[in-house]
Amino acid sequence: MENLEIINKQLQEENQVLKEKYAPAYKLYQESKELEPYQAELIKLQKHIERHNKKLVILVEGRDAAGKGTLIGTISTYMNPKHYRIVALGKPSKENKSQWYFQRYVNHFPSAGEIVFFDRSWYNRAMVEPILNFCTQEEHDIFMKDVTQFEQSLVHNKLVIIKLYLSVNKTMQLERFERRRSDPLRSWKLSEIDLQAQIYWDDFSKMKYKMLSQTHHEDAKWNVIRSNNKHQARIEVMKLILNQFDYEDRDQSLSFEHDMSIVIPIEEELKMMKATRKDLFS
């Protein structure tokens, strides 16, 4: 009897060790299963866009480590690669600098039946470029004056624009940077600009407030997504994209209602920013 109790105790201890060891993998498996129904809906949406010759541009903006790239990867995982593209433009060339600012983005716009994801977009000029002195104050001012009219023109010419801003807090950003620094599989993600993100946090906050408040308009609204929890953010973004279209064969058993603690109305985001940092937004 005593031996049986010892064996049972050993089995319980071993079982606990196995649970702890495989808990992260099991969590990833559960999350992937939660994503799949919405990823299946995105395939239907892609077919709808192809069938009706629609053109969709999805802008994904946010601070460094907000989860932009992984979000785009999750959305596009099962899509037909012939009918979507991911655009992540690097440093502008000399030729780019001599051109109309929007030109190098326009060159990547979708044809009929196509989706294009911009992993950072022309809004680089609203936040990153002025803070890091990659553009002049005059260039920034011209952009802020022209961008709404530019987007309105695109929408009036049958281009659908979805603007996403992934909002991550300062503590989570630092945690993700540390993960990149210590993980050899993620170290390539850590850049010199990333290292400056925490130093210039308040400057980026000011430019974020200015960008969201001045470039939110009826033809191309900003959608603010809390992205501290990447999994929840991905589900809510997929719902948001799907809700933009009345596509065929929608799965009515799925919930397309938003979690309003993740999807934040622009007015609430701006109000919260002012309330929490009165020193920045007086």
Select, from the ranges 13-27, 128-142, 174-188, the one with the highest average predicted confidence (pLDDT): 128-142
Domains of the chain listed by start with CATH number: 35-276 (3.40.50.300)
Mean pLDDT of 73-85: 97
pLDDT at 22 over 70: no
Whole-number pLDDT of residue 189: 73
pLDDT-derived band at 182 (thresholds 50, 70, 90) equals: confident
In which residue are the tokens 């541009």 written? 57
Which pLDDT does position 18 carry in this prediction? 54
The full DSSP string for 120-152 is S-GGGGTTHHHHTTSS-HHHHHHHHHHHHHHHH
User: Are 72 and 88 contacting, i.e. CB atoms less than 8 angstroms apart?
Assistant: no
What pLDDT band is residue 229 in, cutting at 50, 70 and 90?
A: very high
Contact between residue 281 and residue 273 where contact means Cβ atoms under 8 Å apart: yes
Model confidence over 89-144: pLDDT tens digits?
Answer: 988 999 999 999 999 999 999 999 999 999 999 999 999 999 999 999 999 999 99
- Mean of per-residue pLDDT scores for the chain: 92
Quick one: which H or E segment has residue 264? strand 263-264
- Taking alpha carbons only, the member of 110, 208, 225, 125 closest to residue 161 is 110
Q: Which region holds residue 111: left if phi is over 0, alpha if psi is between -120 and 50, else beta?
A: beta
CB contact at 8 A, 131 and 121: no
